[in-house]
Amino acid sequence: MNNTSSENKPVIGFSSGDLNGIGTELIIRTLSDNRLLDFFTPVIFSSNKVLNFYRKGLAEVNFNFTTLKDFSKVNSKQVNLYNCWEEEVAITPGTLTPQAGQYAVKSLQFATQALKEGKIDGLVTAPIHKNNVQGPEFKYTGHTPYFKEFFGVPEVLMLLVSESLRVGLVTEHVPLKEVAGLITREAIQAKLSVLNASLQKDFNINRPKIAVLGLNPHAGDEGLIGKEEEEIIKPAIKDAKQHNMLVSGPFSADAFFARGYHQKFDAVLAMYHDQGLIPFKSLAMGDGVNFTAGLPNVRTSPDHGTAFDIAGKDKANPSSFRSAIFSCLDILRNQKMFAENHKNPIHRMGSSVSATGVDEAIVE
Q: Where are the domains of the chain?
A: 1-153+295-317, 156-290+348-364
Q: What tens digit of pLDDT does each residue of 322-337 get?
A: 999 999 999 999 999 9
Nearest to 43 by CA among 118, 149, 99, 147: 118
Q: Is 156-290+348-364 the same fold as 1-153+295-317?
A: yes
pLDDT per residue as tens digits for the range 216-257? 999 989 899 999 999 999 999 999 999 999 999 999 999 999
Enumerate residues 6+ apart whose C-beta is below 8 A from 113.
none
First-to-last CA distance in the chain?
42
Query: Can you spell out the DSSP letters for 27-40?
Result: HHHHHT-GGGGGT-
Q: What is the pLDDT of residues 53-93, one digit of tens each?
A: 999 988 788 899 999 999 999 999 999 999 999 999 999 99
Question: Which helix (DSSP H) or strand (DSSP E) does residue 180 occupy?
Answer: helix 176-182
Tell which residue, 251, 102, 271, has the closest CA to residue 185: 271
Q: What is the per-residue pLDDT for 110? A: 97
Q: Looking at residue 342, what is its pLDDT?
A: 85
Asked whether the predicted pLDDT for residue 173 surpasses 90, the reply is: yes
pLDDT of 106 strictly over 90: yes
Cα–Cα distance measured from residue 334 to residue 349, given in angstroms and rounded to the nearest whole number:
26
Q: How far is CA 45 from the centre of its chain?
A: 18
Confidence band for 113, pLDDT divided at 50, 70 and 90:
very high
Q: Are 363 and 261 in contact (CB under 8 A)?
A: yes
Is 353 a residue whose pLDDT tops 50? no
Range with the lowest mean pLDDT among 109-123, 133-147, 287-301, 339-353?
339-353
Specify the CATH number for 1-153+295-317; select among 3.90.1300.10, 3.40.718.10, 3.40.50.1110, 3.40.250.10. 3.40.718.10
Does pTM surpass 0.85? yes
141 contacts 150 by C-beta, under 8 angstroms: no
pLDDT at 346: 56
CATH number for the domain whose boundaries are 156-290+348-364: 3.40.718.10
Q: Is the pLDDT of residue 350 over 90?
A: no
pLDDT in tens, 6-60: 468 999 999 999 999 999 999 999 999 999 999 999 999 999 999 999 999 887 8
Give the pLDDT of residue 357: 40
* Segment 125-135 mean pLDDT: 94
pLDDT at 59: 77
pLDDT digits (tens, 9 = 90+) for 269-327: 999 999 999 999 999 988 899 999 999 999 999 999 999 999 999 899 999 999 999 99
At residue 131, does pLDDT exceed 50? yes
C-alpha atoms less than 13 angstroms from C-alpha of 285 in its C-beta half-sphere: 2
pLDDT for the residue 60: 81
pLDDT class for 137, splitting at 50, 70, 90? confident
